[in-house]
Amino acid sequence: MTCGRARPPEIASAAAAKHNDATMPSPTLFTPLRVGQLDLVNRIVIAPMCQYSAQDGCMSDWHLIHLGHLALSGAALLT
């Protein structure tokens, strides 16, 4: 028994061929990037966050732990 929404095999094959990995461009997010003299392994950049928890405008131990955790995430650059 088949579902009423099942595609006939010839249509399913055509749809699969259309979305084949060979025809789809690879995402540039994970490709290296050179910014000036800085070589980044990917294009993932994490902006400053949690500045509201700074003490008198200075980062605390909490920030060091937080940024350390983000550094382990695989992002190429923490700003």
Give the phi and the psi of residue 2 in degrees, each rounded to 5. -115, 155
Reported pTM: 0.57
Q: What is the pLDDT of residues 28-75, one digit of tens each?
A: 999 999 999 999 999 999 987 777 778 888 888 988 898 899 889 999
Q: Which two tokens stand for residue 25?
A: 């461009």
The residues spanned by each domain of the chain are: 28-78
Q: Is 70 helix (H, G, I), strand (E, B) or coil?
A: helix
Of 9 and 58, the structure prediction assigns the larger pLDDT to 58
Which secondary structure element, helix H or strand E, spans residue 14, and what is its range?
helix 9-18
